[in-house]
Structure 1
Amino acid sequence: MAEPTAPKAAPRGARLLAVLALAPALRLAVLRHAVPPGVGTRTGCDACGAPIGLARPWPALGPTARCGPCGVRVGPPPGAVELALAAAVGALALLGPPATVLVATAWWVGWAIPLVFVDAAVHRLPDRLTWPAAGGTWLLLGLAALAGAGPTPWLRATAAGVALALFFAATTLLLGRRGFGLGDAKLALGVGALLGWYGWAALVAGLLLALLLSGLVGVALLAARRVGWRSHLPFGPFLVLGALAALLLP
């Protein structure tokens, strides 16, 4: 009697399409939270007031990124969220961590993508995105420790997350507006925990890469006269990019 054949794994293209199906939800998160400080989450189109929410994400969140009734662009440019998600999936594929750590990393990435777009748009990192990113990453890394990795990387991840967050918070208290914001400190909790899992060297590399990227972009914008010396660049996108780059380092 012939042995039953094992089911074939889904093609990479099908898996990528399945992941990209999350893009409307991420775009919706950006749209709802990309508002100035002190303003509640956005529930409708700024131009015509057409409702935008979980119950009705289309057509405002479709590929054109425009409101259906009035045609005004809503949220990030077309394809921006999808491209960021595809790049993050590619980075995770290159990283190839164990399944339990992959889940924790994917969780963090899922929150980090909308945080990047929100911070770039309105210079804020809302608690509704930073706390789930940090808390979920920490808990899932704890499950990875219980699944066989042991307590050492998880304890190091905990210490690294707290240390990086305190560093950013200290700059806020000591330097005021010239330092990093408290939103950056909350984002740093998840970034520090994720990088700390891989070691202190990964944490230092991620921070240095983020500072280097922000410096290079700042100089380029100054040279192009797009910003002035007193301008303040959002640091969240650089912190996320620095973390991903550090994870991909040998």
Structure 2
Amino acid sequence: MSTTPDRHPEPTAESLSVRGLAALALAPPLRLAVARHAVPPGSPARTGCDGCGASLRLGGPGSGPAARCPRCRTRIGAPAGSVEAGLAAALAVLVLLDAPLAERAAVAWWLVWAIPLVLIDLAVRRLPDRFTAPAAAGVVALLAVAASTGAGFEPWLRAVAAGVGLGLAFAATTLLLGRRGFGLGDAKLAVGVGALLGWYGWPVLLAGVVLTFAFSAVTSLGLLLARKVTWSTHLPFGPFLVLGTCAALLLTP
């Protein structure tokens, strides 16, 4: 657990408004990132609209909230409102999280990358290195700042060990079980997850893993009962990993 005594003050209505506007400003580039990288594994990033070929850029296809190309109206990228909903959820986590500024910065950094990762995984069952690598690296770097500004390096070393350990544990299932195990994308996402939760202690890391598998099990059972999937269906695990991490962070005392 972090031993930093000072906690973040309660947010005011004005500060919440500023944070909300800042979060909405991130929506177009995040939506564009999803549109470009929500492609099958091994395929190059999407550069144009699938319907008319219009170039993907800010202000053009793939970045608008309607999730349609403004030229040909082809649906492209994340579903309408999904990026904005993800940003609202991320902002809620940051508001509810009782932690010093440097720790909040690490969580905020990870959440910004987690949003497109969740949407890409849901769309095409992949977690691109372009997002998992900076998510993990940024968390480790920002937690190092938190360590140097008061928390000490013991929690940082634990965070690094937890990140490496959880990533290797996920990767081991791929090597041992093949397609029945987790994907390497899940393992790379788990590095940032492990570092973030490990900073707060081994019990928090364990809680995050347990919650992740609980969310996955409940969702799978519900879909099976509704006959939306079969026993052989492989659900994307990234969204559950992100959800379990957020839940564990909010339960941190």
* Length-normalised TM-score, structure 2: 0.92
- The alignment partner of 2:196 has SS state of helix
- The alignment partner of 1:114 has SS state of helix
Take 2:196 and 2:136, find their aligned partners in 1: how far apart are those partners? 9
Take 1:137 and 1:29, find their aligned partners in 2: how far apart are those partners? 20
Deviation at 1:14, TM superposition (A): 3.4
- The alignment partner of 2:230 has SS state of coil
Structure 1 runs of 4+ aligned residues shifted over 6 Å read: none
Deviation at 1:73, TM superposition (A): 1.3
Consecutive unaligned residues in structure 1, runs of 5 or more: 1-7
1:140 is aligned, of 139, 142, 146, to 142
Question: 2:199: which partner in 1?
Answer: 197
CA contact (8 A) 2:93 2:246 kept: yes
Question: 1:20: which partner in 2?
Answer: 24
Question: 1:246: which partner in 2?
Answer: 248
Deviation at 1:11, TM superposition (A): 4.4
CA contact (8 A) 1:60 1:68 kept: no
CA contact (8 A) 1:28 1:57 kept: no
2:185 is aligned, of 183, 186, 196, to 183
Take 1:59 and 1:45, find their aligned partners in 2: how far apart are those partners? 6
- The alignment partner of 1:198 has SS state of coil
Letter of the 2:188 counterpart: K
Q: Residues 156-215 of structure 1, C-alpha deviation per residue, up to 9 Å, x if partnerless?
A: 000100110011011111111111011100000000000000111111111111101111
Take 2:114 and 2:224, find their aligned partners in 1: how far apart are those partners? 27
Deviation at 1:221, TM superposition (A): 1.0
Take 1:77 and 1:119, find their aligned partners in 2: how far apart are those partners? 13
Letter of the 1:26 counterpart: L
Considering only aligned residues, what root-mean-square deviation do their CA atoms show, in Å? 1.4
CA contact (8 A) 2:107 2:196 kept: yes
Letter of the 2:215 counterpart: L
Q: Does 1:108 align with 2:84?
A: no
Take 1:190 and 1:121, find their aligned partners in 2: how far apart are those partners? 22
Letter of the 1:202 counterpart: V
Q: Report the count of equivalent residues.
A: 241
Take 1:225 and 1:235, find their aligned partners in 2: how far apart are those partners? 19
Deviation at 1:72, TM superposition (A): 1.2
Consecutive unaligned residues in structure 2, runs of 5 or more: 1-11
Same amino acid, percent of matched pairs: 63
Question: 1:231: which partner in 2?
Answer: 233
Take 2:140 and 2:180, find their aligned partners in 1: how far apart are those partners? 29
* Length-normalised TM-score, structure 1: 0.93
- Which deviates more from structure 2 when the two are superposed, residues 12-21 or residues 222-231? 12-21
CA contact (8 A) 1:31 1:42 kept: yes
Take 2:185 and 2:61, find their aligned partners in 1: how far apart are those partners? 31
Take 2:168 and 2:18, find their aligned partners in 1: how far apart are those partners? 42
Question: 1:42: which partner in 2?
Answer: 46
1:131 is aligned, of 133, 139, 144, to 133
Distance change >3 Å, CA 227–CA 84, structure 1 → 2: same
Letter of the 1:49 counterpart: G
